[in-house]
Chains A and B, each alone.
Chain A
Amino acid sequence: MDAKPVIELAGLEVRFGERTILDNLCGSLSGRAIGLLGPNGAGKSTLINTLMGFYHPYRGTARIFGYDIRSQIRQVRNRIGYMPENESFISGMNAVSFVRFMAELAGLPPEAALERAHEALFYVGLGEARYRKLEEYSLGMKQLAKLAQAIAHGPKLLILDEPTNGLDPPARQRMIRLIRDVRERDDLHLILCSHLLRDVEECCEEVLILKQGRIVEYCNLEEERRSNRRFLEMEADGDKEAFAEGVRKLGCECALAGERRIKTVLSEGVEIRDLYRLAAERGVRIRRLNYKRDSLEDIFLKAMENGHGSL
């Protein structure tokens, strides 16, 4: 695990005219994959844009890999790859020219840029289509081209804004797999900004939740998963109410969540076998059983209710 922080926020405050969009953000993030969550208007895009130097902070600052965004933004941008949420391309070019152009702008010499452009396009899965003009691409292909231009120049920090937007299920799978593969590299960090909590859960270890310009929750999913092994989640056929009753009688907390899930906390002395015995007695068939702390969704909804907070 990296000891050196990737992103340090030092009282970062950003205003548009009179409105304060980001309010006194403080903290330090060092995970390989960092998720950025929050409702619409919470300031996620503004935070990303500020880290890339598109907006000037009103007060405070932030550091990426130790470089200050106020005074050393060029060094910061040298190490960043960005995949924007909205459609972003240059008309009149095919994917190869586009990725090559972007790589050259990032400083690569022309020959190296061409090589890496093809490598990046192969990696994301754009085959023959790379020789067609970008205007003709489907949405999924445009997303892949955007990802290719973000990684071609070998950045140290990859910023992905809604990478699975509009993709159909196989393309989403491929994108998630790519992101997880990219994350496996030791020298590459990732910021994933998405509304789909599942995606963030699958890809990220640390999660930062913003609301109204403030940090309301910071959570380390790795630790969550490793912590207390007594939390269980089950799915079962049969009389779930009766089952839950029985579990409570054993001395464990138990609650029904949603249409099919049963959550329980095993207390001392109670084993999984006891649950199965109970199930057999009540005529319930257990279909799924695993250790689960709060899912990211629970964490998120709780953070929204709790309101303001800081790291």
Chain B
Amino acid sequence: MAVYKRTYQGYEGRLTPGWSRFLIITRYAYARVFDSKFLLTFLVSCCVWPAICAAIIYFPHNAGAMALLHPSARNLIPIDGNFFLRYMVWQGSLAFLLAAFVSPGLISSDLRNNALPLYFCRPFSRAEYVLGKMAVVVILLSAITWIPGLLLFGLEAVLEGSAWFWDNLWMAKGIFLGSWIWILVLSLLGLALSAWVRWKLAAAALLFAVFFVAAGFGQAVNNILRTDYGGLINLVELIRTIWAGLFRIKLESGLTEFDAWEALLGLCAFCLYLLARKVKAYEVVRS
């Protein structure tokens, strides 16, 4: 017989490695994010276009299927830069919607409920916090942009042979880099808005505004001042320029690739600055 008294006890066991702790935020965020049926349906629907693309890639290599088609219909859709550019545009748009749905609530709820001191009184830095939150968006967006993209490239390479692979490796590079710059811009912008705007809906609306209102504005500037530099605030224009450049498609618009990269990287840096301003354990109020 024994009587056990429950009392406070210290912890002497092992600790997890410091570098991996930012993923804890990601894990817990996913548990909540995947509660939403809407999101799950949306993610599934993001697989539709890659599936269609896979079919388009596969068909010309299947003799039986080709036999069914009219001879002039064969080779209708070449797997080239244009093909992947259209893939990027489509999935990139879906990525935008996904980011608009997932990112607004990430930081704003912590700020609203004053949870940041609880994070930072632990051996946890601000960079790790932002990284953890970013990973939530980055992993989801990766799953619908460059991962299926590279798989499609791989599929074609397997079907066409190694010569095709080496000749067109630049396309794989385009998929990878093009997706990553887009992911970076969307996630940082989404997080920055989430940190500065208290309400989820307002942050999401602002994300849309940043893209479309700025796009309209940029166009207006272009038309009025007869220049192309209005494009610098038009995010849609900027990413289009970069993707076109990566996939070696000629565009009529005047922005150079270099300008576009500069503008987007500048935007990312600005978002990081905004995050650094807001993600702090305590605000100092000047009276």
Chain A positions within 8 Å of B, measured between CB atoms, are 16-17, 49, 52-55, 74-75, 77-78, 80-82, 84, 86-93, 97, 101-102, 104-109, 112, 116, 119, 122-123, 149, 151, 153-154, 156, 159, 181-182, 185, 187-188
Contact = CB atoms under 8 A, between A and B. Distances in A.
Residue of A86, A91, A119, A159 contacting most chain B CB atoms (<10 Å): A91
Interface residues of B, number: 36
Interface stretch (B73-81, B118-126, B190-198, B263-271): B118-126
Interface in B189-223: none
A182 B16 CA distance: 26
B25 to A, nearest CB: 8
Secondary structure dominating the interface of B: loop
Contact of A101 (B15, B24, B121, B123): B24
Contact of B118 (A75, A84, A156): A84
Contacts of A153: 11, 122
A77 B123 contact: yes
B22 to A, nearest CB: 9
A187 B10 contact: yes
B34 interface: no
Given A49-B281, A49-B282, A154-B9, A104 B110 contact: no
Interface in B157-196: none
A89 B116 CA distance: 9
Interface of B: 6-16, 18, 21, 24-25, 28, 32, 109-110, 112-115, 117-124, 280-282, 284, 286
B122 A90 contact: no
Contact of B6 (A75, A91, A123, A156): A123
Given A77-B123, A84-B117, A102-B118, A107 B21 contact: yes
A87 B13 contact: no
B13 A108 contact: yes
A35 B6 CA distance: 27
A54 B113 contact: no
A97 B32 CA distance: 11
Contact of B13 (A84, A109, A119, A149): A109
B121 to A, nearest CB: 4
Contact of B15 (A93, A108, A151): A108
Given A54-B117, A77-B122, A80-B121, A112 B24 contact: no
A149 B286 CA distance: 31
A116 to B, nearest CB: 7
Given A91-B113, A105-B25, 11 more contacts: A52-B120, A54-B117, A77-B123, A77-B124, A82-B121, A105-B122, A107-B16, A107-B21, A108-B15, A151-B8, A154-B11
Nearest to B287: A19
A96 to B, nearest CB: 12
A151 B286 CA distance: 33
A119 B10 CA distance: 11
Given A82-B121, A97-B28, A154-B10, A87 B114 contact: yes
B122 A102 contact: yes
Contact of A122 (B6, B12, B117, B120): B6
B218 to A, nearest CB: 37
B103 to A, nearest CB: 15
A71 B228 CA distance: 50
A88 B117 CA distance: 8
Contacts of B21: 104-105, 107
Residue of B15, B18, B117, B118 contacting most chain A CB atoms (<10 Å): B118
A102 B13 CA distance: 16
A16 B281 CA distance: 15
Contacts of B15: 107-109
Contacts of A101: 24, 28
Residue of B32, B117, B119, B121 contacting most chain A CB atoms (<10 Å): B121
Q: Which 4 residue pairs spanning A and B have beta carbons closest together?
A: A154-B11, A107-B15, A82-B121, A54-B281
